[in-house]
Amino acid sequence: MSDEKTWEAELAKLRAMEDEARQGGGKERLQKQRDSGRLTARERIDYLLDPKSFVELNMLAEHQCHDFGMEKKKYLGDGVITGHGTLRGRRVFVYSEDETVLGGSVGKAHGAKIHGILRMARETRVPVVCLNASGGARIQEGMDNVFGITGMFYQNTLNSGVVPQISAIMGACTGGNAYSSALCDFIVQVKKGSYLFITGPAVIKEVTGEEVSFDELGGARAHSAVSGVVHLTAEDDRECLDIIARLLDYLPQNNQDRPPVRPCSDPVDRELPELTDIVPITMSKNYDVKKIIGALADEGDFFEIQKAFARNLVVGFARLGGQVTGIVANNPKFLGGCLDINSADKAARFIRTCDAFNIALLSLVDVPGFLPGVRQEHAGIIRHGAKMLYAWTEATVPKIAVIMRKMYGGAIPAMGVHEIGFDQVYAWPSAEMQMVGAEPAVRILYRRELDSAADEKALFDRKVREYRDTYLTPYHSSSRSIIDAVIHPKDTRRMIISALQMLENKTEPSRAQRKHGNIPL
């Protein structure tokens, strides 16, 4: 019998190893995952990417651990599928963790595969999609996890602001993997069967005595509505992947590119007479600002980010005249539109994301100020509110503000004026702008006269009307060039798109050289 190699034998060996790698943790485990209504790691990639476009890398990698019986638990691919392909014709890098292999845990080889994908995404200036389903660090590999897990953080951080990074939580995502997701630009979490936390319920009970379920601790509702960690949620795996594809439609390939522009069939000069029906002229009455956004956007299409968190402020993407625009809008339907700690964090993060990826910003303003109270002050409203000021000032993309009803006090710079770096500021005729409202201003400015008046209430009411008619109107601000134009609400879409077109090639003078600023984190 000859020992000479033959092509048939070598190719058969390769096919056998590839088939073994595709089986992950075995047919039974893969089928169990399917039976639970979830896609397998490979099926997720196949669903997300264009047909036959995926090119797998490091398919045959294995861990090299021989402790704790691990030499008998080797799986080709080591629990993560890595590679690149196209998504709606655009190149993306992707990795998909396989929880049928050692619970998707991250060891040295597993981590190295992810490092390589993240690094190549940065070097080729291509977005990266991270499909997470991992129990965290593989404890059998001990300190090799420093390489596997920590290297992910390093690569995520170097990628930040260079290429879009989108993380999907499609199973357990615990320990170090949670931090890798937090370092991405956007996190999408599946509502059923996915959990995101640093320490699980068992450890929490042992250390603190608290009892909490997996879902209460790290489920989609907890992180989308309470912690604000998760930006978007999905009913199942397929919807999660659809959301990722839609999100990428609003993002460029990298920080040197511009977001995709679509042909616009919606007339740029479309009038919006309905806006005066949506927004009550009476300041104390509330409305949902998302109706305004829907009226302004091309075809009424708005992609909201962090919908369930800090609902007093709405952020998300729309197209205006075909151009992707990030929208930051006060929502009087919740907390009267006041800014608070959570909404300030939400805004600052979104503003910086848009600026990093060359997405113009539109601020829709109807804000009475920052939420007052001991709890807010002691929780650091000054520090958190300053993040908004920092983010607006730092941003060099086109910035446009429309003041619809009111804009008071510290919320004036927080929502947008020229002095914080805005390029165009418009106001509706209904807009009120001042450091304080008419009533408190009159009490301060006319205190002595009111104290000595024969009819204090009549004098107070008269002075309030005079102050409001003189100082709170947009014409007062217009006379001082605080705003660029007082516009009819029906012309809002036309004016915004005109400004975006005018600012399309905006550049800013060079700023003082520095390593980086020191945002008040």
How many CB atoms within 10 Å of residue 364?
Answer: 24
Give the tokens for residue 103.
Answer: 């619970």
Which residue stretches of 260-312 are H helix? Answer: 275-278, 289-296
Total residues belonging to the chain: 521
Note if 411 is an active site residue: yes
User: Would you say 287 and 332 are in contact if contact means Cβ atoms under 8 Å apart?
Assistant: yes
Q: Per the residue annotation, which of 41, 172, 234, 411 is the catalytic one?
A: 411
140 DSSP assignment: G
The CA distance from 138 to 108, in Å, is 9
- Cα-Cα-Cα-Cα dihedral of 90, 155, 182, 514, to 10°? -100
Q: Which residues of 456-480 are buried (b: 16+ CB within 10 A; e: fewer)?
A: eeebbeebbeebbeeebbbebbbee
Of the candidates 250, 193, 258, 242, which has an alpha carbon nearest to the alpha carbon of residue 220?
193
Q: Per the residue annotation, which of 85, 107, 175, 385 is the catalytic one?
A: 175
Note if 438 is an active site residue: no
Phi, psi values for residue 517, rounded to 5° = -75, 175
Q: Per the residue annotation, which of 24, 136, 321, 410 is the catalytic one?
A: 410
Give the tokens for residue 154.
Answer: 């390093």
Note if 175 is an active site residue: yes
The CA distance from 198 to 478, in Å, is 51
Query: CA angle, corner 407, sides to 404 and 411, nearest 5?
Result: 130
Which residue stretches of 65-107 are H helix? Answer: none
The CA distance from 276 to 294, in Å, is 14
Note if 26 is an active site residue: no
The CA distance from 169 to 187, in Å, is 7
Residues with a known catalytic role: 175-176, 410-411
